[in-house]
Amino acid sequence: MDATKRAKVFNLRNIAVVLLIVYFAIFLIYPIYKAFAGSLHEWNPLIDKYNFVGLENFKDVLTSGLFWKSMGNTFFFAFFSVLFRVVIGLGLALLLSSKLTKMKTAFQGLFYMPTITPLVAVSFVWMWMFDPQFGLINKVFHLDINWLKDTQWALPAIIIMTIWKDFGYATVLFLGGLMGLPEDVFEAAKIDGANSRQTFRSITLPLLKPTTLFVVITSLITYLQAYIQILIMTEGGPGTSTYVISYLIFDEAFVKYNFGSASAMAIILFVIIGILTIIMFKVTEERKQTA
């Protein structure tokens, strides 16, 4: 490569780096800064109010019963959504890798289809499916539940819809992880007389830890920020039974126009997600070192 070509490549790389820095500055660093600055102000853009109040917004948020209820709903939603996404995804991946080899591609596409379907469209379809009179769920299972209007069933109904939409993502990832496992380890276990349950517990699960961790972390980050399905299916109701923290932020900012409190909640959520992610990575690193 002559000097002219090297100079062109160098210039292109410099341009790419500059564009990347500009992108992160505009779409990541500035919004974080703006949210943090806004959390320290009484901020209502409709009336051009932006008065410094220090940590008053954080104090109001942390003493709000609705905030803590929303946090509880958020972790309830995230825990069960992640749990069933992992369990169903891994179970179907094991099934596809062992029993349905000839139709693996077709089933992968079938299971992954809901994942790429717009969440708004899926939410509207499931609203109809949960209809107490004409919905498919009550008809098929002979139930009499007003899913989205019952304080006990509204959040579980949204969790069911979310799991149905997202399990295909975990299935494809786990299937890829299973296909990458070394065959000689399983052959050695079979020679030693290990049954399928022992092999799964002692070999398959430990070898799938990186894939499992990736699914758990990405799912947790996603579900802690979920609000679209809540907005469409229940609007936080009935009452406040399906309020999650992201929906509360949306409601505080774009319904009540209290951007200061909304920014404080966003910062708190950002810190929680960051801490959980760091903890999960630390635990994984420690397990790798002791393995």
The reported pTM is 0.89
CA–CA distance, 201 with 203 (Å, rounded to integer) = 6
Check whether residue 149 and residue 230 sit in a common domain.
Answer: yes
Q: Which amino acid is at 152?
A: Q
Rounded to 5°, the CA angle 69-278-67 comes to 15
Check whether residue 54 and residue 72 sit in a common domain.
Answer: no
Over residues 113-124, the pLDDT tens digits come to: 999 999 999 999
pLDDT of residue 91: 92
pLDDT of residue 290: 54
pLDDT of residue 79: 96
Check whether residue 45 and residue 116 sit in a common domain.
Answer: no
Check whether residue 103 and residue 121 sit in a common domain.
Answer: yes
The helix or strand, by DSSP H or E, that contains position 49, with its residue range, turns out to be strand 49-52
Q: Which of 16, 31, 58 is the last residue of a domain?
A: 58
- Containing domain of residue 190, as a range? 64-290
Check whether residue 135 and residue 202 sit in a common domain.
Answer: yes
Check whether residue 36 and residue 162 sit in a common domain.
Answer: no
Check whether residue 71 and residue 40 sit in a common domain.
Answer: no
pLDDT of residue 8: 57
Check whether residue 19 and residue 87 sit in a common domain.
Answer: no
Check whether residue 102 and residue 16 sit in a common domain.
Answer: no
pLDDT of residue 265: 96
Q: Which of 58, 75, 92 is the last residue of a domain?
A: 58
Q: Which long-range contacts (CB under 8 A, 24 or more apart) does 149-156 make?
A: 149/237, 149/238, 150/238, 151/238, 151/239, 151/241, 152/241, 154/234, 154/237, 154/238, 154/241, 154/242, 155/73, 155/76, 155/77, 155/241, 155/242
Q: Which residues of the chain have pLDDT under 70?
A: 1-10, 99-103, 286-291
Check whether residue 78 and residue 103 sit in a common domain.
Answer: yes
pLDDT of residue 24: 85
Check whether residue 263 and residue 134 sit in a common domain.
Answer: yes
Check whether residue 247 and residue 172 sit in a common domain.
Answer: yes
Structural domain total, the chain: 2
Over residues 52-96, the pLDDT tens digits come to: 999 999 999 999 999 999 999 999 999 999 999 999 999 999 888
Q: What is the CATH number of the domain that holds 166?
A: 1.10.3720.10
